[in-house]
Structure 1
Amino acid sequence: MRLLLLGGTEFVGRAVAEEALARDWQVTVFNRGRHEPPAGVAALRGDRSAAGGLAALEGAGAGEWDVVVDTWTGAPSAVRDAARLLAGRAGHYVYVSSRSVYAYPAPAGLDEDGPLVEASPDAGEVEYAEAKRGGELAAEAAFGDRALLARAGLILGPYENVGRLPWWLTRIAGAARGGTLGGRVLAPGPRDLPLQYIDVRDLAAWLLDAAERGLGGPYNLVSPPGHATFGELLEACVAATGSDAELCWTDPETVLAAGVEPWTELPIWLPPGELYDTVHQSDVSRALAAGLRCRPVAETVAATWEWLCALGGRAPHRPDRPPVGLDPEREARVLAASAAGAP
C-alpha cells in the first residue's frame, strides 16, 4: 500500500507512520520540516497554511497513493485544499477527527448519529470543535464515501505531546524520591471511575486496517467505556516507574472545593457529571464491530514510560496547548484537607 501522511512526525502521525512502515507500506510524509520523520519514509516539504504551501503535492508527477491520512487540527480550509488536490490521485482519505465534533453536552451512550456542531469546510482559524467538524466536511466533499472520519477521544501512549499521561508518570516517579509531600500523591476519586481512551498505536493500527478495507463515514475511536479505571491507570504508573508513591484517594468534592481544575490540573481525570459523560461514555460499537482492539492499560503506561525515559524524562509539548499539572503547594493543601476530613 502507498500511504501519504499529512503530518507524520508527532504523536498520532508518528504512530501511523511507524505502523505503516512495520507493514512494509510505502510511506510519504508531507510536513513543514520542523521535526524529523521516521527513517524509511519519503519526505515532502510544505506549509499547508501558507499560500502555495501544497506545491510539493501538485501535479500527477508528485505521486499517487492508495491512502491519505490527515491529522490536521487547524483551519478547515487547509483540509479542503489538500483533499481537493488529492481527490483524483488517492483512493481513500482518512481524516483524524475528534469526538469534540458532537454538540455539547454529549449524553452517555451517544453514537455517531448524534447532533454535531455547526461548521464550515471553508473556515479559517476557528475553535477546536468547529475546526475538526469543518475538516470532516472538507474531506467528505472531496472524497465522498471514500472519506473515513476517525472521531478519536482521549489519546494516550508514546509520543504524547499534550502531557497528560507523561505528567502522571513524572509526578509518581518523583514521589519515590521523597520531597515535601513525603511520597504521597493526590489521587482524585473515585478509584473505580471508568475511563475511555485509546492507545495511539491501537488507533494507528485500526486506521490503516479500516482504510485498507475501504471503510468510510464516521467512527468513534476510543476504547469501550470502563476498559480501565482511573485507579488501574495510576497503579500502572506506580508499577511502571518502580515508585514507592502512596496514592492518596480523595473524593471529588474535596478536590473541587479546593478549586482544582479537572482535566488540566489533574490530567485525564473528570468527576462524574456532564463533562465526564461526554468524554468517557461514548458508544463505540461501530468501531468494535469494524475490528477495533484495545490493549491493556498497563501496556500503554509502560510503553509511555519507556519512551519518556529515552527522552531523559522530558516529554515534548505542543505550543498550541497549555501546560497541564498541579502545583505541588496546591496539591499539599488538598492532601491536608483530605486528611483533616478523614474519619
Structure 2
Amino acid sequence: MHLLVLGGTGFVGRTVVDQARARDHHVTVLNRGHRPAPPGVTALSGDRTAPGGLAALDGRTFDAVIDTWSAAPSAVRDAARVLRGRAGHYTYVSSRSVYADGGPVPLTEDAPVVDASPDAGADTDYAAAKRGAEIAAGQSFDGPVLFARAGLILGPHEDIGRLPWWLLRLAAGGPTLAPGPHDLPLQYIDARDLATFLLEAAAAGRTGAYNVVSPPGHTTMGELLELGNEITGGRAELRWTPPETILAAGIAPWTELPIWLAPGFDHAFMHGGDVRRAVAAGLTVRPVRDTVADTWAWLQSLDGPPPQRPDRPRVGLDPAKEAALLG
C-alpha cells in the first residue's frame, strides 16, 4: 500500500510506520516536524491546526490513511475533507474512553458513547475529543472508515510513561509498593500488535468500530510486576498491598500507580472490554513477557530519560510517599 500516516513520529504513529515499512509499504508522514521522521519515509511538513496546514498533501493520493490525532476533532474533520476522493480508506485511532459512564460491562462496540461534536476545538475533554473525531472522520471522508478504539497501549517507544515508570522503579530495587490484588486482571495492547491490526484492517477495507485491546485477563498485575522485576535484574522486593490501604493513604490509581486501578467500576471499564469483534477480524496479541522485555531493552538503549508527551502529565509515585506507606 501507499500509506499516509498523519503524525508518524510519536508512540503509536511511529510504531505504525515501523510495522508498515517492515511490510514493504510505501509510507508518507505529515506532521509539524518537532521530531525527526522515521527512516525510509516521505516526510511532509504541516500544522493541521493552522490555515493551509495540509497544503503539502495537494496532488497526492493514497491507498490508506491512519490518523492518530488526540486533540480538537475539527483537525480530523479538515483532514478527512482534504482527503476525500484521494484515499481509499481512513483509519482513526480512537479510544475506549468514548464509551459513556454507566454502560453495561463488558463494553461492546455498540455500547452508549459520550456526546461530542465534530467541530469542537482544542478545549474539548479527551473522551469527547476522541468521539468527536470519530464523527468527523465518518461524516467528512467519502470512503470506508474504521475506528480503532484502543485501550491501554504499552510497548517500546511509549511516551506516556506508564510501563517505563514501573520498569525503572523495579530496576532501582528495594522495598517496592505492589498494588494488589496479585491476581488483578489487566487488559492492554502492545503498540506493535495495534499497528499490525490497523494495517491489516485497512488492507481488507474493514469499517466501523473495533475495541482493539487484548482479551480481558491477558495478564495480571502480579505477572506484570514479577516479570518486570525479573527482566530488570530482580532487585525489587515487591510488597503486595491491599487496594483499601493504598486508597486510604491518598495514593491515586492510574496516575501515581500507572496501569493499576482498584477493583470496581473503573477497573472493569478499563480492563474488561469485549474484543470479540477485533479477534474475529484477525487481532492477535503477543505474550506479556515480550512487551516487558522489549520495552526494557528500548529503555536501556536510550541516552537519556524516556520521551514524555508534553500534553500528558507525568506519572509515578513520589519515593517519599511510597516509603511512608511501606513504613
Scaled by the length of structure 2, what TM-score is found? Answer: 0.98
92, 96, 100: which one pairs with 1:95? 92
Q: What is the CA–CA distance in structure 2 between the aligned matches of 1:313 and 1:283, rounded to whole Å? A: 38
Match of residue 105 from structure 2: 108
2:307 maps to 1:295: no
Q: Deviations over 1:306-332 (max 9, x none)?
A: 111111361100111111100111101
Match of residue 81 from structure 2: 84
Match of residue 126 from structure 2: 128
Letter in 1 for 2:30: F
Task: Name structure 2 gaps, 5 residues minimum.
Answer: none
Task: Quote how far apart the aligned CAs of 1:104 are.
Answer: 1.4
Match of residue 29 from structure 1: 29
Q: Deviations over 1:281-336 (max 9, x none)?
A: 11000001111101111100111111111113611001111111001111011112
Letter in 2 for 1:14: R
Q: Which has the larger radius of gyration?
A: 1
257, 276, 280: which one pairs with 2:267? 276
302, 320, 330: which one pairs with 2:321? 330
Runs of 4+ that moved beyond 6 A: none
Conservation of the 8 A alpha-carbon contact between 2:65 and 2:90: yes
* 1:231-270 matches, cutoff 5 A: 231-270=222-261
Match of residue 161 from structure 1: 159
Q: What is the CA–CA distance in structure 1 between the aligned matches of 2:190 and 2:107, rounded to whole Å? A: 21
Conservation of the 8 A alpha-carbon contact between 1:107 and 1:277: no
Task: Quote how far apart the aligned CAs of 1:51 are.
Answer: 1.4
2:9 maps to 1:9: yes
Paired positions, count:
326
Scaled by the length of structure 1, what TM-score is found? Answer: 0.93
Q: What is the CA–CA distance in structure 1 between the aligned matches of 2:143 and 2:206, rounded to whole Å? A: 8
Task: Name structure 1 gaps, 5 residues minimum.
Answer: 176-182, 337-343
Q: What is the CA–CA distance in structure 2 between the aligned matches of 1:27 and 1:265, rounded to whole Å? A: 37
Q: Deviations over 1:146-201 (max 9, x none)?
A: 000000000000110000000000000011xxxxxxx1110000000000100000
Letter in 1 for 2:33: G
Match of residue 341 from structure 1: none
Q: 1:106 to 1:310 in 2, by over 3 A?
A: farther
Match of residue 302 from structure 2: 311
The Cα RMSD (Å) is 1.0
Letter in 2 for 1:50: A
